[in-house]
Structure 1
């Protein structure tokens, strides 16, 4: 039963009311300032610092470049211990910055990097750990921090999915030497295209800052090497308009997650286990099928009804063609069987019921 021939995707960008966005745009036009950290960008950073309870935030033009900057500053062209279960940007950034990804398998329930296997992967060439908080679910940051201190390693967190997540009573972005987030259009909070870097160390933050602006030290001098990772005032205007509705967005997504939890038949499905002491953000709704065959069959039935979930994260990154990854049995198995169901603010009750009905059948 197709509902109104409407295509239901795995997610849908939140569009703030146009008049509200225009109000912010009018300030851009009034200031005649389009980029280079204008008034709206600075305002957005201050509001996000307050909302997220962080000390330093640097907004960027996408969510991948903060990972690249972190690796440029901390990777030192060495081996980076990382997860095979993440979006490709995590691994591609390592390779792009002339470092070597060394994969460690994942925990079968939390889906984050298995911290018990990290030490065995450390060699004299290891310089950093780059771990992903998967679907907003925190890594075991306590153990990772202990390992990093013991072996004098830097820790970078890909927290692309983690806007609004708190772990052990503090923002997930306050963990690690550098944490990064995505503000892509498909994320809970977005600036159309964008991202951010978070760092508690003042000296390291200063390096991130000049790295994102060509290395500038004033108009004619340079601290060092840098690239262009600046966000525009048009993107910051979108962020400010979206931020005005962020609590409403969280609440609506939570309602949908609760319905999935209550009404899906989990006799042949598993769901991610959220780590204790986590304030989760309802960023994604992954379900894990017992077999890939059942996943593909269910996808087809959903697609036949104009419903398009997505296979996050497939394939396991240790299998992609530009890395030399060893076998990662847990990641490879989970990645072949995990499917993210539609989850966004405007998902209608009838649409949600149809999704659940097809899966349960």
Structure 2
């Protein structure tokens, strides 16, 4: 094994064919319409709704704004969520003045533990919302969460940032919950450079959200509510439209790379247990090593080859300095343990199998020496 000249990270942004992108850029120059719900924004919204088999989607400038707007539209005051997610899920809550409490995760699926969610709901009747994360594109216990939604009269939001083209029980996963948000960040398998989206169960909320992301404007001179600027611009939409034309090939190539890891590491490391009603979009390849020491040894060994997998998600969010004791009323042992041993391996279209072999060999060696 020799050292790579190129640095290999956990993902590599996908760029579409230049000519394909250029035709959309040219249309921006022709229209001179750069933002404020331009023609490309509207075209992307319609094409995404069609491709994803959902009724509608509100497009935003980024995925963090998508969750902020969802919280605002649904009037979230206090929520249960998971410490095993990207920080934006909770920083956006605290930014909006939303109180939160953490429930631990299931040690096999890495998604929020429904039993702990109910325990917290029983203890605290001021909780009005559960924000569950479909981690690495793996569906939560959706039936269990819907049962709690009906039993306790709570709102249900899914952070589906990793879930482009994931289906649960033959429906797009964005169809579930009072709202489901998605990220179109450049690191995702489909992106708009920056960008995000929200699917609401109630179609009227899309109209409210469009006002919310445009300063509260209903008409040119009519402001009906408090709003911010969270609109997706035309250049972001152009990138999305160009990539959407290539998405089937992107998904096929990701599947090939994902399966290469899977069959060569099966029996060597632990894998996330996938929900058997959920499809796989091959967005990430997380592995669970036998100990944090092995993980650190793997990182050190791969760094010598300029290969940099990611401890993701790490650190667990309940350990952040601005999290207070009131936010963590129960033990979060699974999240703490999983965060210390999880590694997401480099995965993107065009990854060289020779690079994957280096990664696989190092992991096998370090686990054998453990």
Partner residue in 2 for 1:61: 61
Cα deviations by residue, 1:259-278 (Å, 9 ceiling, x for unpaired): 111112533x2111110121
Determine if contact 2:4/2:306 at 8 Å carries over to the other structure. no
Partner residue in 1 for 2:360: 356
Partner residue in 2 for 1:92: 91
Is 1:275 aligned with 2:275? yes
Query: What SS does the corresponding residue of 2:29 show, helix, strand or coil?
Result: helix
CA–CA distance in structure 1, aligned partners of residues 314 and 301 of structure 2: 20
Cα deviations by residue, 1:97-153 (Å, 9 ceiling, x for unpaired): 101111000011111001111111121211111110000001111111111122111
Determine if contact 1:2/1:306 at 8 Å carries over to the other structure. no
Partner residue in 2 for 1:51: 51
CA–CA distance in structure 2, aligned partners of residues 159 and 79 of structure 1: 20
- Displacement of 1:3 in angstroms is 4.6
CA–CA distance in structure 1, aligned partners of residues 206 and 43 of structure 2: 19
Partner residue in 2 for 1:5: 5
- Displacement of 1:296 in angstroms is 0.4
**Correspondences of 1:4-23 after superposition (within 5 Å):** 4-23=4-23
- Displacement of 1:74 in angstroms is 2.3
- Displacement of 1:181 in angstroms is 0.4
Is 1:322 aligned with 2:322? yes
Q: Scaled by the length of structure 2, what TM-score is found?
A: 0.95
CA–CA distance in structure 2, aligned partners of residues 55 and 285 of structure 1: 30
Determine if contact 1:59/1:197 at 8 Å carries over to the other structure. yes
Aligned length, in residue pairs: 359
Partner residue in 2 for 1:82: 81
Is 1:164 aligned with 2:169? no
Instruction: Identify which range, 345-354 or 190-199, moves more after superposition.
Output: 345-354
Partner residue in 1 for 2:197: 196
Partner residue in 2 for 1:186: 187
Determine if contact 1:106/1:114 at 8 Å carries over to the other structure. yes
Query: What SS does the corresponding residue of 1:278 show, helix, strand or coil?
Result: coil
Cα RMSD (Å) of the superposition?
Answer: 1.1
Partner residue in 2 for 1:105: 104
Q: Scaled by the length of structure 1, what TM-score is found?
A: 0.97
- Displacement of 1:73 in angstroms is 2.4
| Superposition misfits of 4+ residues, deviation over 6 angstroms | none
Partner residue in 2 for 1:115: 114
CA–CA distance in structure 2, aligned partners of residues 344 and 308 of structure 1: 14
Partner residue in 1 for 2:252: 251
Determine if contact 2:4/2:305 at 8 Å carries over to the other structure. no
Partner residue in 1 for 2:368: none
CA–CA distance in structure 1, aligned partners of residues 82 and 4 of structure 2: 41
Partner residue in 1 for 2:151: 150
Determine if contact 1:82/1:101 at 8 Å carries over to the other structure. yes
CA–CA distance in structure 2, aligned partners of residues 329 and 277 of structure 1: 27
Partner residue in 2 for 1:70: 70
Cα deviations by residue, 1:199-222 (Å, 9 ceiling, x for unpaired): 121222222221111111101112
CA–CA distance in structure 1, aligned partners of residues 70 and 91 of structure 2: 13
CA–CA distance in structure 2, aligned partners of residues 3 and 36 of structure 1: 48
CA–CA distance in structure 2, aligned partners of residues 281 and 273 of structure 1: 15
